[in-house]
Structure 1
Amino acid sequence: MTARPPAVPEATEYDLVVRSRRTVTSGGERAAAVAVRGGRIAALHGYTAPLTAAEDVDLRDLALLPGLVDTHVHVNEPGRTHWEGFATATRAAAAGGVTMIVDMPLNALPPTVDVPALDAKLNAAAGRCHVDVAFWGGAVPGNVKDLRPLHDRGVLGFKCFLSPSGVDEFPPLRPHEVRRAMEEIAAFDGLLLVHAEDPALLGDPGGPTYRHFLDSRPGAAERSAVEQVIALARETGARTHVLHISSADCLEPLAAAQADGVPVTAETCPHYLTLTAEEVPERDTSYKCCPPIRSAANRDRLWDGLARGVLSCVVSDHSPSTADLKVPDFAAAWGGVASLQVGLAAVWTEASRRGHGLADVARWMAAGPAALAGLPGKGAIEPGADADLVAFDPGAAVPVEAGRLHHRNPVTPYHGRTLRGAVLTTWLRGRPADGEPHGEFVFGER
């Protein structure tokens, strides 16, 4: 990157101009100068346009991406801040080109299942965020009465589990409870997010290896749960989003439901698109997550579902823990992958190998999640949007060292891998996001 002084310093028109011959907009890559004023994108000009600005940055042939939006992040604060907290998670996000996260209602203590719990989370996060943060609420047994108050306070939607969540304070919903939550959420046009695995088809790993663990959570459990969710969404009309699809067997019922107009969408995650069961080291439980990483053939089918639009988002499901909980036994270890900082590079590494471009990645990791969460000012380089921008070197080789990542605990399955693509600078509303935290809370419009 090179910086050029403004042509007329005493008559500054913009706060910041960022130029790139590879500016990624919703229409694809183009040469452009992105002009920023007051934290928003004021205009897109030609790459060589003579503009006056307090700062003018020329990326030349490096790419300029919209800031990524990650709608699936477990920050865990308050209560389990030793697993992850707002300061560390959002610093990792900024370093990875993510300028907006939406925090999951678990594994914080208390979980975000009522307004007082949301207030506790806001107090814990205040002044600590390096990127903008919004919040999901939780749908658990007995809290239907709390859903509308949480919605009115600005949570973007509600997450539930159909199978045990892994923490006792966030129990799953039974089918009749899912229906009741959907009816309530549909009444105020909210959004329900579902961890979809059918508990009747889940088993005990029965042994310590990855194969034991994988066999205990078959793709059939995901498909069965997805089919149940689709039927309830069709019946109630509730907008419904299926989280972290790992089994490609779910694509057929999802595609059919979407074609029928059922209001159901779905996401997948970098680890399902880049890692495979065949390569999981025998005792490396950093790979353990629920649902599990599956075969290379399954991975290929997920990419096809993403290309066809059946899957509309790629988000991290960043779910870290302390290293001692990742004991070298797949039956007992905590299930969660830590990848917030490396998700963009991981997806770009595999996407570019498969012939996809940066515009595809931006659609999956910025525009798609922003649309899901109802965040019209995020996830795009266009006039009026927040000036959330990422300078990205798509050709750089980046070795991953867990101890050098910014999330709290140095555990990730990407340790030792070399990924393609480096984030050079992240701007949050026109300001670099690598200094003092200036992230803001974002609430849903009511």
Structure 2
Amino acid sequence: MAGQGGEPEELSLVDKGVRSLLEVSLSSDLHTLNMHCNRIARIEGLGHLRNLQHLDLSSNQIRRMEGLNALESLSSLNLSCNLITAVEGLEKLFNLTTLNLSYNRIHDLSGFQNLHGTHHKISCIDLRSNCINNINHLLQCTKGLQCLTNLTLEKYGNTNPVCYAAGYRETVLQALPQLAVLDGRNIHGELVSDASRREAPPNVLKAKRDTDPTSESEHETEKESNKKSVKRSKIPTYHRTTLSARRHLNHPKAKITDREEKSSSKRSPSHQRNSHLNSSSDTPDLEVVGRGANVLIGRQSNVEKVDEKNSNATKESTYRVLIQELDQEKERRWKAEQAEKKLVEHVKELQKHAKEEKNIQSMAVYTTERLKEMILKERDVKTRLQADVQQLKDETERLTNELNQAKNKEAEHQKAMQALEEALSKMETQRLQQRAIE
């Protein structure tokens, strides 16, 4: 595959649905690799890209910063719009100058401590729209970055929790004296991005664009526009036509030619016949005309320079507008992707809740049926118990009656026995009396 620039050292696969870097055949001569807006989950398979200078893996599904140690020539790295939570794996990137980690979930900046000292050249870091909430941790991890001049933690309303701390800006600028720009403003609080671009000449503007941390894909677009300025001119066709027409109308040579044509048309044949005779008398006039032509040619060059400057200024302003629109479009696209992800997660959560509710409902129905069965069983048991109780009551009553009858019979038997005993004692007494009498 070839990149957008048509050169083997550049490769752009924007929004191609790539799931893994191992699926792509990468030449070891690559200088620029743009894999923006794919489905890549891991950074792998880049160990042989020793000449790679610009890497854009923004808008993917990367969770860890890994597999970058072999990229010795890498100068700009864009990992924005991913799922990264910690800064790591940058200690071998000695030539890295620009790092974009915006729109992630970063809360751990410990990886920056491995970049402290003069061996690393990192100068521009974009960390907006993350989860950094500890200002002491932020300063501890960044104070040793001696080349750091541009740090972004908040831009266009996309911020970090640490930015809401009291005296945040003053604290950071005081702790990091090497900073020249914080959140798009210089140490005096003035916006510097647009003003610096307006003041800088075109080559300086392009160099600054190369170090713009917004997106490496924009850097590639800029390079292509420089290579194909004729094809991809940012000035509309009608505007160029109007400029050329005005330039022709204002051109001194054109005016001279028009005047000469008018004067020649007004000349009579007799004047043309006598022109040779009067040539000696016209010599001073020719000298004046020559000096006038030189003046007009000088004016012409000045006009061309002014027109060229105006054209360059128009091109640069149009180019800046397009770059800003590209930034805004990328930000809108990222927000749309985040909204889509949130919507998908919300739908999944709703489906999960619906499934749970369905399970609960089926469990409730099952439990209700079981309870009904148990209630019916309890009713049957209760009915049987009531019948048994009634039977036992009847049996108890019968036995009570029998017991009473037995008690009555026993009382009667005891009375009979008492009577017999009394009769027996009387008979014994009488017999003893009879014996005594005898």
* TM beyond 0.5: no
Please tell me whether Structure 1 or Structure 2 has the larger radius of gyration of its CA atoms: 2
TM-score, normalization by structure 2: 0.28
Structure with higher helix content: 2
